[in-house]
Amino acid sequence: MKPLFLFLAFFSLFACKNQKQKPTNLTKDSSQTSKIQPDTTELATPAHFTIEEEEFVINFPAMPLRVEDSTDRDVEYSVQMGDSVNYILYFRDYKEGVIQKMGEKKFLQNQEKQVIDKMGFPKEEIFENKEIELSGFPGISLKAGSQKNTFLVYRIYLVGNRLYQLGISHTKRNPTNEEQKNFLESFQLKNSKVSKS
């Protein structure tokens, strides 16, 4: 539960304190590096930074902070834009059999319940709660929030023994369709490296 707690704590602290962070890279295990490339090919669209690892690729709106914990086998990328919006991608590799023992659907629902409970969303603040897929892998899409709480657009995916969590939180409004498209829709698995085992 520690990695999920850290992920949710990040969103909670962001919502409560609105502190600014410097966009630098921090890595506990420097042997595992990723490619970070600014994309400036299209001047008409906002600049973004492409994060490319062995299994996936995603675009952030600015250079993300990267924190890796090799003990818990988890990695978190995050960007805070101004004092109101935050982007985050978290992933963790579980030992063989942990997810299968609970079942994929129940595991995903449990992860989502923890997000809802931790963020304190009552039922009436949940706009979307549905099953989704990414390249044939199961996931959940959650949209929630109100003026009294943080607005959150959040996705969870299970890819084999890896759990991905990505989201945008905003303290003042729902994340726009453009923000969601540029970040959430940019998350792609590298199919040549990923298999449904």
Q: Would residue 105 count as lying in a domain?
A: yes
Q: Would residue 99 count as lying in a domain?
A: yes
pLDDT digits (tens, 9 = 90+) for 140-194: 999 999 888 799 999 999 999 999 999 999 999 999 999 999 999 999 999 745 5
- Segment 69-95 mean pLDDT: 91
Q: Would residue 197 count as lying in a domain?
A: no
Backbone φ, ψ for residue 94 (5° rounding): -100, 155
Q: How far apart are CA 151 and CA 6, in angstroms?
A: 19
Mean pLDDT of the chain: 80
Q: Would residue 25 count as lying in a domain?
A: no
Which tokens hold the place of 23? 């966009």
195 neighbors 160 (Cβ within 8 angstroms): yes
Q: What percent of the chain has pLDDT over 70?
A: 73
- Model pTM above 0.85: no
Q: Would residue 42 count as lying in a domain?
A: yes
pLDDT of res. 79: 96
* Confidence band of 65 (pLDDT split at 50, 70, 90): very high
- Here the CATH number for the domain that contains residue 105 is 3.40.1000.10
Q: What does the CA dihedral 86, 183, 187, 129 come to, rounded to 10 degrees?
A: 70
Nearest to 152 by CA among 112, 99, 93: 112
Q: Which domain holds residue 119?
A: 2-17+32-189
Number of domains into which the chain is organized: 1
Q: Would residue 152 count as lying in a domain?
A: yes
